[in-house]
Structure 1
């Protein structure tokens, strides 16, 4: 590289290449986030790139280094890349937070704002053990596989299991007052299990549960989500009530099994929509039957519970509540959950994966838009 003019041209090309590098947690170009410290190119074509990390213990430092190296190496005239990592100052982190969240001193819940286009589904059940969390993680993974931006809040504070089922092993990163959620299979996820030591129990009363849910929704930087799924605890307790207060536009998705006893309890979970004025997206019947090797079906937990719940809730709410799908009982569904890879990704051709994918399709058929949103317009008579 002969002249300073040539080096200047190459440096500009390097900066343009860096604009294609996205921060793996925030999902915006590092150039827009103020993360590029300096760029210099030696006469021999060696690129020296300085990058600011948001925090000293950034878990994505190797990923950022690899992405920068890959992008800059493609620039014509570059013979090598050296990446130097530094850490943002408090002032730089404050500026980053402002650029992402604005100047508001108190964090707000973006999904509760009038202009939000994110579809929020609260996955509820009347009792535990019906596979609510399995349904949640598989719906999230199926939606993300279709190219949607998806987030999951593990709102089952006492019985959190979403991180294991999604294979999310990373810890959240805190930048200023923002929490960056880890990702697994293209799904952003947050859970109280990411903040506890080992398998410790969470022993909290109602107000602490409300505050935890509020932090998950407001303090976590979710970015622009197409869909947010909340895995609620069983029943109609504190979290269900708090969810209705914090995100009144959320839709309920009720999970039940075919068993009559489970269906009766599931009706109670769904009927909370009449009191909270939330919309009921539908009912999913899990563990519907066991497919035997000869092709016949064994109805281990009976039959008809899902349709019974849908019909009953339709009468209670005075509006049609659809049965969105029936998910067969398969050992692979449990095995994939324990292994951290949802069955819709690990075995997409299995019967349960096809059923869950079909439910995901129905929930995402409606594109993001103004339908159902309050536009604060009052009719005017002439």
Structure 2
């Protein structure tokens, strides 16, 4: 139902994510919505040709949520990576966060790509040519070639006929695929499930939050760049998290300066005109996780499907990322030295 321009609309984050029933006529101006508990019963429904259809449509919690909760019962920690702005390096950060967790051989990590229309995680993880294997217990994640072999990936890219094929789907179909990722993928015993989301605060974000709410989410890591134009959208993401009841683990300022691969000198390219992410964190009373400088070798590592942390441990960006990961662990109530042991 299109929102009214006269009255503010309260979003129900607990509403079931199902396809709306097929109506025989357009929804009237004051329609409560075909999925509302008042559908077919409200005063505004009287005389509507859709009244019988709406009254008989399924309502209440999604019946698949208990199945999702049971499937994810063996996942200890779930982390969302969010950003209201595209192009801030959110997917890149998701891969580096996952690689950092996987540096501990005693941990097992899952990385789920919910960017249905722009899946870039498989390329960054070096598994873009892989396909999903279906077994009797569900879909098997694709295991990346990291040092310890303990990092599994799931993405819509594995289902496409070609790597350049576009995904042209509406919201209900995208929601259904995310549900399949959570309900049918045999993740097994995971220490961490990192969920990379697309930019914005729309369908995919509502789906992930609604499906994971019962099984529990440790929180969200917000990614931004120093410019105010990026922080504008991150403020909307903060508002989304608060309305949706998602704990904010903190905010990361990505591309904070430029590191020369040769001399290791750091220069400011995107200067924070309003104080950057640290000022935003202070104003919003949320943790500031740290700054990660821009190193051209990060892009090279992603293009070749390699771990930047393993390939270039001497980079200041690598040191910064390890510091951010330890701050994330602290916010989750974990021992940072156990999550990411110091390099010997």
Q: TM-score, normalised by structure 1?
A: 0.63
Cα drift, residue 106 of structure 1: 9.3
Query: C-alpha root-mean-square deviation of aligned residues, in Å?
Result: 2.3
Q: Which among 325, 337, 353 is matched to residue 290 of structure 2?
A: 325
- Structure 2: which 5+ runs fail to align? 1-63, 336-344
Contact 2:264–2:315 under 8 Å retained in 1: no
**Residue aligning to 1:119:** 77
1:189 aligns with 2:134: no
Cα drift, residue 164 of structure 1: 0.7
**Residue aligning to 2:97:** 139
**Residue aligning to 1:83:** none
Contact 1:112–1:246 under 8 Å retained in 2: no
Residues 1:333 and 1:295: Cα distance change in structure 2 (over 3 Å): closer
Residues 1:240 and 1:253: Cα distance change in structure 2 (over 3 Å): same
Q: TM-score, normalised by structure 2?
A: 0.70
Determine helix, strand or coil for the equivalent of 1:217.
helix
Contact 1:124–1:132 under 8 Å retained in 2: yes
Cα drift, residue 163 of structure 1: 0.5
Cα drift, residue 261 of structure 1: 0.8
Matches within 5 A, 1:295-306: 296-303=265-272, 304-306=275-277
Contact 1:142–1:345 under 8 Å retained in 2: no
Q: Matches of 2:198 and 2:138 in 1, distance apart?
A: 25
Residues 1:177 and 1:208: Cα distance change in structure 2 (over 3 Å): farther
Which ranges of 4 or more aligned residues in structure 1 deviate by more than 6 Å? none
Residues 1:229 and 1:297: Cα distance change in structure 2 (over 3 Å): same
**Residue aligning to 1:254:** 222
Q: Which among 235, 239, 249 is matched to residue 204 of structure 2?
A: 239
Q: Which among 104, 116, 123 is matched to residue 164 of structure 1?
A: 123
Determine helix, strand or coil for the equivalent of 1:364.
helix
Matches within 5 A, 1:287-298: 287-292=255-260, 296-298=265-267
Residues 1:145 and 1:294: Cα distance change in structure 2 (over 3 Å): closer
Q: Which among 269, 274, 278 is matched to residue 307 of structure 1?
A: 278
Q: Matches of 1:295 and 1:360 in 2, distance apart?
A: 22
Larger Rg: 1
- Structure 1: which 5+ runs fail to align? 1-104, 315-320, 369-382
Cα drift, residue 298 of structure 1: 2.1
Q: Matches of 2:270 and 2:111 in 1, distance apart?
A: 29
